[in-house]
Amino acid sequence: MSKITGRPKKANKLEKKIQVMMTSKQFEVIQKKAAQAHLNIPGFMREAANKAQVNPRWTPGEVALIKHIIGMANDLHQLSETAKKEGALDAMQHFVKYRDQIDFVIERLREDK
């Protein structure tokens, strides 16, 4: 029986391949950052995938709050039309209610950030 020669097999074999389209500017940014980290681009991308944190644009809770604000904006528009027709004093009570709701939603959005 012959002795096995050569390099031992890697414990973490790279199995998957991805391709990403980007602009020249984005590629240059990645290239510069990889050079600053003394890594090649694939090594930099693997490190970024493991260590980088990406913040989502909106959480589901924030989306729900924004939809709620949009609904209130539509209601306020209808109230302003009512105020033009029937007088501002009647609509004032409704505006106070919506002002409090908007303040509540704004505070919730501030707490989430």
User: Could you report the per-residue pLDDT of 14-67, keeping only the tens digit for each?
Assistant: 888 889 999 999 999 999 999 999 999 999 999 999 998 887 788 888 888 888
| Chain centroid offset of residue 24 CA | 23
Q: Does 43 share its domain with 75?
A: no
Q: Does 50 share its domain with 65?
A: no
Q: Does 85 share its domain with 108?
A: yes
Q: How confident is the model at residue 90 (pLDDT cuts 50, 70, 90)?
A: low
Q: Look at residue 3 and tell me if it is in a domain.
A: no
CA angle 26, 33, 19 (to 5 degrees): 50
**Domain residues for 48?**
21-54
- Say if residue 113's pLDDT is above 60: no
- Domains: count for the chain: 2
Q: Does 108 share its domain with 65?
A: yes
Question: What is the model's pLDDT at position 35?
Answer: 96
Q: Does 50 share its domain with 64?
A: no
Q: Does 49 share its domain with 67?
A: no
Q: How confident is the model at residue 70 (pLDDT cuts 50, 70, 90)?
A: confident
Comparing CA positions, the residue from 20, 44, 19 lying closest to residue 34 is 44
Question: What is the model's pLDDT at position 72?
Answer: 82
Q: Does 65 share its domain with 39?
A: no
Q: Does 44 share its domain with 67?
A: no
Q: Look at residue 71 and tell me if it is in a domain.
A: yes
Q: Look at residue 14 and tell me if it is in a domain.
A: no
Distance CA 26, CA 28 (A): 5
Q: Look at residue 1 and tell me if it is in a domain.
A: no
Q: Does 72 share its domain with 97?
A: yes
Put simply, whether the predicted model's pTM sits higher than 0.75 gets the answer: no
Comparing CA positions, the residue from 64, 56, 54 lying closest to residue 108 is 64
Question: What is the model's pLDDT at position 101?
Answer: 79
